[in-house]
Structure formats: C-alpha cells, structure tokens
Amino acid sequence: MKNFSRENSVSTHKRMEILNVTNVVAKAVKESGITNGLVHVWVPHATAAIALNEHDSDLWDDILESFSQLVPIEGKYRHNAKYSWTESEQNAHAHILNCLIKPHVTIPLENGGMQLGTWQSILLIEMDGPRTRHIRVQVMGE
C-alpha cells in the first residue's frame, strides 16, 4: 500500500466564491499512480472549505446566499470586534461556516477513477477572499 501527497494553489477573486477544483485533484490522483484506495482533499484553512456538489454557477450563487443568510457576514461577532482595527480579520462568519462545512472530503478511488456521482464535483468554498488557497491531495492505496 502506498501513500502520495501533492499540494497545489488556486486563487480566488471574490469575498464569497465557489471554484470547481475537480481537475486539480484528478491530476494529483493520476500522478500518484495509485488506482484503488482513498483520496483525501484538504485545505489548511479556517475560512475556506471543501464540499462535493453540482457544477452549476446558479446553484453556487444559491449556496452562497443561503450560507450568508444562515451566518451573516455582518454581525455582532466578538472575533471581529477584537480585531476591529484590521479589515482582514472581519471574518467570523467564515470561521463559523468552516466548522459546519469542514475543510476536507474523502473520496473512494477504484480502478483509477474517483467514484464521484454524476452531480458531484469537488468544490472549494471561499468565504473570506480574495486569497491564495492551498489544496492538498493525499492518496492512500495500491
């Protein structure tokens, strides 16, 4: 059994934004030479997250709008008040959403292919951009 990992960077361009990173992950899986096992996708971030869902930019707007209604960007957050002197730390909403969405997904790999369903793309959910985000792909298997 083998273990392979690769880290890539992507740039986000908005405060809240969804990017399809399936190709970034698929490339690392191919490089790994591993064909059966688990693919773990990880972002080392507390204000961005990873999900699996449909490639549909209209839906992505729905997702981000819903998230913003659940946990508003503007709010009476202690974290934001403490760092009120710096615009880059007005991001409690993103930290809270990260605890719900989580910064990772684990995908089954069989015969060289990630077992994604028809409507499953790997999505990076930016909640405090624009920033450079790191995506770590780890493949364990044989």
Binding residues for a second copy (CB under 8 A)? 1, 3, 5, 36-38, 40, 42-47, 51-54, 56, 58-59, 61-63, 66-67, 70-71, 77-79, 81-82, 92, 95-96, 98-108, 110, 115-120, 123, 125, 134, 136, 138, 140-142
From the CA atom positions of the chain, what is the Rg in Å?
A: 16
Q: Which positions ≥6 away from 12 have C-beta within 8 Å? A: 19, 48, 124, 126, 129, 130, 131, 132, 133
Q: Are 72 and 4 in contact (CB under 8 A)?
A: no
Shortest Å, Cβ 13 to a second copy:
20
- Report the nearest approach of a second copy to the CB of residue 50 (Å): 9
- Minimum CB–partner distance for residue 110 and a second copy (Å): 6
Nearer to a second copy, 25 or 105 (CB): 105
Phi first, then psi: what are they for 60, rounded to 5°?
Answer: -60, -40
Nearest distance, CB of residue 30 and a second copy, angstroms: 18
What distance in Å separates the CA atoms of residue 71 and residue 59, rounded to the nearest whole number? Answer: 18
